[in-house]
Chains A and B, each alone.
Chain A
Amino acid sequence: MDSYLDILSVLILLSSIILVSHKRIKSYIKTFRIQSALIALTAGIMGWNSLIEEGSLDILVVCIIIILLKVILIPRLLHKTYGSIEYKVEKDFFLNIPLLIIICCGLVVFVYFSVSNISGLNEDHINLQVVNSFSVILIGLFFMISRKWALGQMIGFLVIENGIFVTAMFSTHGVPFIVDIGIFIDMITAILIMGVMVMQINEKFESININKLRNLKG
């Protein structure tokens, strides 16, 4: 089972790097969907394992919730949010895409060097999984910084939450159930609120370029 989890952690990292390399909003949402499906698969495998070993249904329920929320519901919300926006492809970047991808790779190297110096995270297989999932968090943060459109920040936030969830899964086999449920409720509320805010920004500022949100200074 561990080797499947290794492969899945690699694929999840891969999906976050592919996310950085896209320019169209539809591709962002599609890649996010694939990443969430991979995470649901990971949760499913771990849940199945915990069901057989300890008889607890917690992680399997969490897996089903992920499928409902992140694979089905949230992409639909995102589609609705960006439906009202005029342009669907992001043209303006701070740095060009190959450079962004190489910086993501640099982030993975950085995480590897940091994590390998912390005892308690240092056993063989856990090391690989934790490095990969922690890199997803940093890559999500980087994605948020590298995009000029407000929608990019929403998706970056979602990727950060994905990364945190996988890190929790891989390092501690999940947090207490009530905390998990609370995290999901918080996340979906956050996305709803951010979606409404993006629509309001679009209305008031005529674009979702966050560089135009610079009136308050000092």
Chain B
Amino acid sequence: MPLRTIIAVLLLAPLGFLALVGVWSTEGGSASSLPFPAVRNELRGGAQPAAGDPVRLRIPALNVDAAVEDVGLTASGGMDVPKNWNHAGWFRFGARPGEAGNAVLAGHLDSPSAPAIFWDLAKLRPGDAVTVEDALGRIHTFTVTNSVRYTGGDAPMEELFGPTPRSLLRLITCEGEWDKEKETYGERLVVTARMKT
């Protein structure tokens, strides 16, 4: 094969490759082809702030009045946590508080050196009030119905996060014994509250 042919191959092959990759990626590789808005937003680098997103959590019985961050998923597919120890983290791929569905807010029990926002979450009792303010200034009021502790992987994830026609609020924090090796507590506490009608 002559030298100029070899050079031509070396020059044209990458061009052909790039052209074909371009066609391929616009047909099937874009996030916009995915069916679910939440997943599209995640792939684009996070959900856009929306008017009804929660911004403030108040639990008078625990003297909690805290800002709300939105959180997504960890690399392993678990629910992520708020970056600030004293903020609540709203799971942005679930319902907003006030909508039909499970609106899930997680908060830290403690930091390495001090109590955090949900230090006293276990003290909530049925009938206690929880309010969530959204970005439009609307106040959604919930009434605590129950608290359940889960160990390891025994939490009913579909029930806690999946769709439901009711407007529920799930408050989650850590419980149980501290595992030094895994650096985590062995249980999770889930407090459920139902929207006041």
Question: Is chain B a partner of chain A in the same complex?
Answer: no
